[in-house]
A and B are shown apart, each in its own frame.
Chain A
Amino acid sequence: RKEVEQDPGPFNVPEGATVAFNCTYSNSASQSFFWYRQDCRKEPKLLMSVYSSGNEDGRFTAQLNRASQYISLLIRDSKLSDSATYLCVLFSGGYNKLIFGAGTRLAVHP
């Protein structure tokens, strides 16, 4: 079983739509969680950290459920510029490294 699992998509949504991505992880000892964004042929860039209490940054809301080992990202009022691949990432303190999911592709169309 992969350490981090994501639906690869693609999610094709119109501008203005709300879209949600989910991610599950297998290692209950994982310490920190993040969503990264990766544009085509570019490096990943940190979008936001994910906390159990939930956190919001503008149109983006992230949520962590440690009991279910589940992470989510909600994007409201989608923009064309949101089109990218969204990577679910966790930090394993035991292994001292970031572990990346394969990503969920989002395509926002006019």
Chain B
Amino acid sequence: GAVVSQHPSWVICKSGTSVKIECRSLDFQATTMFWYRQFPKQSLMLMATSNEGSKATYEQGVEKDKFLINHASLTLSTLTVTSAHPEDSSFYICSARDTSGRALETQYFGPGTRLLVL
């Protein structure tokens, strides 16, 4: 089955530093990847949609200059949390959509990255 990896699986950083999270589709090509954030006991909230070779589309209320997304290839998207603050501590999950003609709603989720900002 389709596999999506994320790296790192967890990260602890100091306030003010930047953190990069990678999302890779391992056995399929993904023109579209999605970045979600989940706070404890809350639902997954879509942050942005990342399209290969073009700018990401951000959801309302998500600062594009703070959450930098790059989708340079069909198998890799990165999310950089710039100048991270404690309130950015969360569970970040990516998902990827297979380009091979599957239904639009089919997404494969990565295992998530747990970020703790001190």
Using a CB–CB cutoff of 8 Å, the interface residues on chain A facing chain B are 4, 8, 31-32, 34, 41-45, 87, 91, 93, 96-103
Contact of A44 with B41 at beta-carbon distance under 8 Å, contacts A97-B34, A97-B46, A98-B46 already known: no
Partner of B43, one of A91, A97, A100: A100
Q: Which residues of A contact B34 (CB under 8 A)?
A: 97-98
Please tell me if the beta carbons of B105 and A42 are within 8 angstroms of each other in the complex.
no
Residue of B nearest to A2 (CB): B43
Q: Which residues of B contact A43 (CB under 8 A)?
A: 93, 109-112
Contact of A87 with B43 at beta-carbon distance under 8 Å, contacts A41-B114, A43-B93, A43-B109 already known: yes
Please tell me if the beta carbons of A8 and B114 are within 8 angstroms of each other in the complex.
no
Q: Please report whether the interface of chain B is mostly helix, strand, loop or mixed according to DSSP.
A: loop
- B23–chain A nearest beta-carbon distance, Å: 11
A101 to B41: give the CA distance in the assembly, Å.
11
Residue of B nearest to A92 (CB): B105
Please tell me if the beta carbons of A8 and B112 are within 8 angstroms of each other in the complex.
no
Contact of A8 with B109 at beta-carbon distance under 8 Å, contacts A41-B91, A91-B104, A97-B49 already known: no
Any A CB within 8 A of the CB of B82: no
Contact of A45 with B104 at beta-carbon distance under 8 Å, contacts A98-B46, A100-B43 already known: no
Q: Which residues of B contact A100 (CB under 8 A)?
A: 43-45
A4 to B103: give the CA distance in the assembly, Å.
21
Any A CB within 8 A of the CB of B54: no
Any A CB within 8 A of the CB of B15: no
20 residue pairs A–B, Cβ–Cβ below 8 Å:
A41-B112, A41-B114, A42-B112, A43-B93, A43-B110, A43-B111, A43-B112, A87-B43, A91-B104, A91-B105, A96-B49, A97-B34, A97-B46, A98-B34, A98-B46, A98-B107, A99-B46, A100-B44, A101-B43, A102-B42
